[in-house]
Chain A
Amino acid sequence: MTGNRSDGGRATGAGAGAGMALAERAVAWLLPAGDRESVIGDLREEAAARGADGDAAWRLLAGLRIAAHFHVEPYRDAACVRGVLALSVAGLALLWIVPAATGPGLLVPDFYTDPLLRAVAAMWGRSHVTSAAAAGLLVGHLPAIPAHAARSRWHVALLLAALAFSAADGTAAAWTAALVLLGAAWLGDRGRDAARDDSGGAGVCG
């Protein structure tokens, strides 16, 4: 019996540890890179001081509240608000223009005979997916948002991904459009970072 209790205790401890690690990872992912270590350390210190050392929920909630402040903060800056509006309008325009110009989608060439290849080509050829890729690249790459407000770029990407999801026909196309938009935004963001590094300056906009 004692052994069982001990095993149970170890299992509970391991579960709590895993929950804690997961909570910290979730919070860290939402925080600016430069603040992650100090904020997580501060939360650990505060949790220990208030006797909530093993309370993953407390740390998760406290961390999420802090992260929420970091995500709202950029909107105090008028340049950020202008940048977010510009990116949103440009992204929305692409989401609307491409399907309007190409109709429901591009035809799959006859020489694609493999069913899987044809399915992928048909999905990619759908105008909502093409427009999602274009909008994602634009949102990720345009240097319209100040460097300190980089998080806002992802707010725009998420908003457009939700719109691309709702505009596509069918569940598969909707998920593809949303994921393609987010992936393209990530690629565009990486490309902009690389271009900025190559030019050797941080610049005003990030």
Chain B
Amino acid sequence: MTHGLGELEQLVLLAVLRLEDGAYAVSVRDEIERRIGRSVSRGAVYVTLDRMERKGYLRSELGEPTAERGGKAKRLFALEPPGLTALQESLGDIRRMAEGLSRKLAWSPNR
């Protein structure tokens, strides 16, 4: 069965997996930008988290309100088993497609 995750969906699920208990929209975006080195829009992260939750790949709960957030709570996300399965299958698809292409993929126009 194919889950057809998009690139940002993969990145968001991986960031949630990596951040464990501290995954919320701001930390997810920061983690993605820090690791891949390019900017991701806030709105895209929010709607992707929302979509992944609607599909049952993530679950969310409100954390404790804090003073630095003006008394507003964080929405904390965690990966659900179907999300992990979807991620494994999606990354597996990429690995299988890339098999045997390491020399071509290493090619650079600057060399």
Chain A residues with CB under 8 Å of chain B are 32, 35, 37-42, 44-46, 48, 62, 65-70, 73, 76, 148
Contact = CB atoms under 8 A, between A and B. Distances in A.
Interface in B33-85: 41-44, 46-47, 50-51, 54, 62, 65, 68-70, 72-75
Given A35-B75, A38-B24, A73-B51, A44 B43 contact: no
A69 B24 contact: no
A42 B24 contact: yes
Nearest to A76: B51
Contact of B42 (A37, A48, A62, A148): A62
Contacts of A41: 65, 69-70, 72-74
Majority SS at the chain A contact face: helix
Contacts of B75: 35, 38
B26 interface: yes
5 contacts: A38-B72, A48-B68, A70-B46, A70-B50, A76-B51
Contacts of B74: 38, 41-42
Contacts of A69: 41, 43-44, 46-47
A66 B70 contact: no
Contact of A45 (B26, B46, B54): B26
B25 interface: yes
Contacts of B43: 65-70
Contacts of B50: 32, 35, 70, 73
Nearest to A46: B26
A154 B54 CA distance: 21
Given A38-B62, A41-B72, A42-B24, 19 more contacts: A35-B46, A37-B73, A38-B25, A39-B25, A39-B46, A40-B72, A41-B69, A41-B70, A41-B73, A41-B74, A42-B74, A44-B69, A45-B26, A62-B42, A65-B43, A66-B43, A69-B43, A69-B44, A76-B51
